[in-house]
Structure 1
């Protein structure tokens, strides 16, 4: 019943978000592609290839095999990869980094979903060396097991710092958290995840920027950028999706990619507001703001991007909670 309640909550929340008013500028988003492969029905993780230009990786959610797909910029599958020595209880996220010593890409797959908040004694993350050639293959995987320091919980967000290689898990709860893995992972015993920061309500994915200057956490409604310290930078409105599940940075770190579950689901590119970019990534003032007063005005955070919850956020979540309670009551009556 956990899956039913969570998905019902998502539907109620999205419905409330839509009726609460527009939260996204249509001219700011770009639909990159839709997944063409009929096997990709629950795209839950998304990553940009560290070594293959114009290639994206995704995988399905629960009840699937340990398989991931490489797709091109048109959403067509270029290769299908199976993982040897891996399970797929509830794959919820993935990340991609590059090994500084070898230059090879490294892919991480997070089997971290737990709708019963304690159904599994531990969770797993699989590390895979990115294939040099994009053709169907079976790849070896290294399994790392994890346990939370403060008890089991559901999670859907995984991110890996591109410079330190440190792994982080973001829980999906009404009081979510960011958990850090040990600096050095052990494959022969569970690694302990320790809470290091708060996370937004019901986070569905997370990702680190390519330069490590920030990370992003996705929810059903929007995405929030953070400094590595956990301090909020800005909120980035997202396009309305049936079930927002994935988030990733583009290779240049100037935009976010976001996707959804469902057949032929879309992937959108959403530019990061200039004021939220690292100084080195911002266009020169002469190219974007010819007048000093315009530059000063653009540096002020928009109401929807200031730190903390907005009135709209509170109203949306209140409405979602009311909807969820109604669903719970309905199911309770049906199951007596």
Structure 2
């Protein structure tokens, strides 16, 4: 366990830095809430750069940016995204970012900024009424992918080689057929994730089984594996993925409906997603986002509308450490962990 992970786990164990509005039981650890000034926006897109800088993307075409640890947030929303649902944002640093708007047909769009959000360029607008883009992810500052729900029976993959300035649809011949009703969930920006220069994973739900698809060649060919997370309903499946390297990953999800239970809401893999094992003591409810704690091999956080859970054994067992509502979570190498969600909520763990 590295020193940064130990420090973060110390925060979780002691509750040091808990904000007064964290809405957690007495004595329990909590996130430090950061006032975004936007209680009318739900932030499902989050890109943590470091402990000081982070980007949020949400409803009403909203993008916020902080460079001072969340003390102040600047509204840097793309003017052309007004009224759109921004569900994912990927940042290369505090000035360069790519944001994804979701929806049927031309509601699915991609925007890029190189100047901290002062100006944006629309680099992709979907022209296929059958496509619905859910998530975007990058391998490095140039190579990235975006994924759409199945079109003509297969998930559709967009590719960029210039940092999101231009996009092209990859051939579908290397993509296995989708199950009936199968789709991705644009719930946390984590239905498509990468690790290293070529590996990428895609999370699904809605079909007979909740699957994770893996590509080791930047999205040209894929293999599909069933997980132990329940599916069989449009509201159930894997909602978020996190890989600490090209073999070890965590999947979280369940049933997003508040009145439905979510047994077996987390699973782990040690073979790049070929097989998945359910957590022996999983989160108690649906979770939409997950992130590995930095500089460690066993610590991770999972978040959802009913709370945050911590694992210290690589995802095998979880315990709830906060009851606040969050949709997404992201951690950085310098020890910065951020979360965001409904009613403009944003938070950071303090050392």
Give 1 or 2 for the bigger CA radius of gyration: 1
Whichever structure has more helix as a proportion of its residues is 1
Range of TM-score over shorter length: 0.3 to 0.5
